[in-house]
Amino acid sequence: MGLIGPALCASLLIALEPPSKPFLDKNSFLLSSAGFRVQVANDAAGKKALDALPPHRFVIHRNGGDVRYLYAEPQHCVCIFIGTQANYQDYRDIVGRSITQPDDVAPDYKTQASALLYGDPYDWDSLHQPDSMAEYLQTYY
């Protein structure tokens, strides 16, 4: 029990730190590899959607029978990754694999990825977002 407290505090502190550039580079690649589509926030509506989502966290967006997983990346690509539940599961499987890392990848990647995947994705409805945002995101499904 004595070791759980410090480990939990350390993982929470890591979760609060901004992700490193090597992590963001690799994470964007992994999201794309898992099938997430990239929607660049290069107009007013895109920037509004990007700002409405928590950065570096998965959000589940339900629209009728459609369920999409959204991941806002405001630093690296200024974009939103949009995928299905299968894409999300593929991403988790990729991150969970024990792959030998090349020398140029930050050693803290696995720790940062664990912090990113800590807990379940947010439910869009729990974020109390306006309906107009749902309409914007629906055009990218």
Residues 93-121: pLDDT tens digits? 988 875 565 555 555 655 666 666 666 67
Higher pLDDT, 11 or 21: 21
The structure's pTM equals 0.61
**Percentage of the residues of the chain whose pLDDT score is greater than 70:** 58
Kind of pairing, strands 37-40 and 79-83?
antiparallel
**pLDDT band for position 65 (cuts 50, 70, 90):** confident
Full strand arrangement of the beta sheet holding 66-73: 37-40, 79-83, 66-73, 58-63, 122-123
Give the model's pLDDT for residue 19: 76
